[in-house]
Structure 1
Amino acid sequence: MTNRILWVLMALVAIVGGVFALANPFAASIAATVIAAWMFIIMGAIQVFAGFRAQGTGAKIWSILLGLLSVVLGIMILGKPLQGMVALTTVVAAMFLAGGVFKAILSFSLADKRFFWMVLLSGIASIVLGVMIFANFPLSAATSLGILLGVELLFDGVSALALAFSSDGEEA
């Protein structure tokens, strides 16, 4: 099986997953929340393990405490996924707002550069997304994560498909 075929298969899986996520954004939001919870648990467990191997008492204590906090957070989200979904949506909306403000500010330092408008528009789009999520909160919590997951999967699929049919697709 060539690399090109693997890229096409990956693209099709991502596109189909994106379509399913957009067709049922609530289920996709729950799935994204559960996946995030498991990532908190796994990363926290690894951090606790790394903490026991860390040099120095302070580093060891902080690493273990932060790892345990991550594990507890993941367990809490798994225990109450709807509340976890609301919390994650709040964090995502806040990240959109903060990232948008910083990108907009950064764009003005690039005023004499070629990409000024792209950075500014990206910042404005992030701000608008954050405001849209907060403006329709808590209803937006039920679908926002699923829609974002669906869009991400569609874009990943399209880019993988483009790579598969590019001249670099065989080497990639």
Structure 2
Amino acid sequence: MASIPPMSDSSISSPVQALSKSRGWLIFAGFLSVFVGFFAMGSPFLFSIVLAQFLAAFILISGCISLALAIFGKHVAHRVLDGVLALFRIVAGIVLLACVASSVAVITLILAIFLIIEGVSVIIGAFKMREHAGWVWTLISGIAALVLGVMVYSRWPNDSAWVIGLFYGINSLFWGISLLSMGFAAPKSAAA
């Protein structure tokens, strides 16, 4: 029976070491997230509409690209299926652009589900990083996302027009603060 060689400390990567290597990116992403959060909370109705139209445009453009790949691409195995799925995306993008109120309501429901899932996963992740000094802010961010997701779902579809902007802004603010606390708590020498 062969013996397993002992693992060196350099082959084991802890979450703290990984965060230390990403210190600059954590701080940058934290400031960006805080900025987006304040913008969204300051103009929640505008942010809701902009987000819905951005998502609709993205779906429409990705559908057009997928359709072009299905028609002119080299892979012929699933050409018909890819073309049909691309047409569905194109139609969905056009409908979302044309029906802003309905698209905001649908996106609000998706946001509620996203916040709930994100909240649970961030809470679990926070407990895995308890050895890092900023883990409490990550836990608070996860709890905030979970609570916001439940609140969005409970008010859906009545408050869809402004809820995306406001609640996304609050979530973005908490997430930005947690990223900043993780980035500033990471050792500088390990980040270099």
Asked if TM exceeds 0.5, the reply is yes
Residue in structure 2 matched with residue 40 of structure 1 by the alignment: 59
Q: Structure 1 residue 84 and structure 2 residue 98: aligned? A: no
Instruction: Kindly state the Cα deviation for residue 136 of structure 1 after the two structures are TM-superposed.
Output: 2.1
Deviation of 1:47 after TM superposition, in Å, equals 1.7
Given the alignment of the two structures, is residue 107 of structure 1 paired with residue 114 of structure 2, yes or no? no
Max Rg structure = 2
- Which stretch shifts more, 25-34 or 142-151? 142-151
Secondary structure of the residue that 2:156 maps to in structure 1? Answer: coil
Alignment of 1:7-156 (within 5 A): 18=39, 22=41, 24-52=43-71, 53-58=73-78, 60-147=79-166
What residue ranges of structure 1 are gaps of 5+ in the alignment?
1-10, 157-172
1:148/1:36 CA distance change after superposition, 3 Å: farther
- Matches of 1:147 and 1:136, distance apart in 2: 13
Q: Which string of whole-angstrom CA distances, capped at 9 and with x for unpartnered residues, describes residues 108-151 of structure 1?
A: 22233444323322211110111121222223311023336767
Identity, % of aligned positions? 26
Distance 2:66 2:146 in 1: 33
Is the contact made by 1:96 and 1:127 (CA closer than 8 Å) also made in structure 2? yes
Q: Distance in 2 between matches of 1:103 and 1:36?
A: 24
| Compared CA separation, residues 31 and 119, structure 1 to 2 (3 A) | closer
Give me the TM-score of the superposition, normalised by structure 1: 0.65
Corresponding residue pairs, total:
139
Which structure 1 residue ranges, 4+ long, deviate > 4 Å from structure 2?
Answer: 21-24, 148-152
Tell me the amino acid that sits aligned with residue 132 of structure 1: M
Indicate the larger mover: 63-72 or 82-91: 63-72
Tell me how far apart the structure 1 counterparts of residues 49 and 136 of structure 2 sit (CA, whole Å).
36
AA in 1 matched with 2:87? L
Change (3 A) 1:57 1:131: same
Cα distance, 1:39–1:148 mapped onto 2, change above 3 Å: farther
